[in-house]
Amino acid sequence: MAEDFADKISRLASKAEFVEASKQSLNALFGESATLVIINHLGGAEALQDPKAFYNGLKAIFGAGAEIIMKIILKKLETPSET
């Protein structure tokens, strides 16, 4: 699953776009300060640089919810105009 996700991301977007889409998705779901806590919990801004590691990190803290979050991020990358 993590590999699938990383593969899709690499085909869809650049690293910078992935970082931005991830932050925006987490912000939309949990708010700005909670997003900072989550990213900090995952190991800081570097955690967003590697989609596979990011997925595994999210899985550890959100369980099955990580898959939904990933779908939301992917959707954002597929249709960037949607918020």
Distance CA 41, CA 61 (A): 9
Contact between 1 and another protein by CB under 8 A: the answer reads no
- Which residue type sits at 2? A
Concatenating the DSSP letter of every residue in 11-73 gives: HH--HHHHHHHHHHHHHHHH-HHHHHHHHHHHTSGGGGT-HHHHHHHHHHHHTTHHHHHHHHH
30 binds another protein (CB under 8 A): yes
Minimum CB–partner distance for residue 25 and another protein (Å): 10
Determine if 15 is a binding residue for another protein (CB under 8 A). no
5-13, 14-22, 48-56, 57-65 -> range binding another protein (CB under 8 A): 57-65
In the list 31, 43, 46, 78, the residue contacting another protein (rule: CB under 8 A) is 31
Which chain residues interact with another protein by CB under 8 A?
Answer: 28-31, 34, 37-38, 40-41, 60-65, 68, 71-72, 75
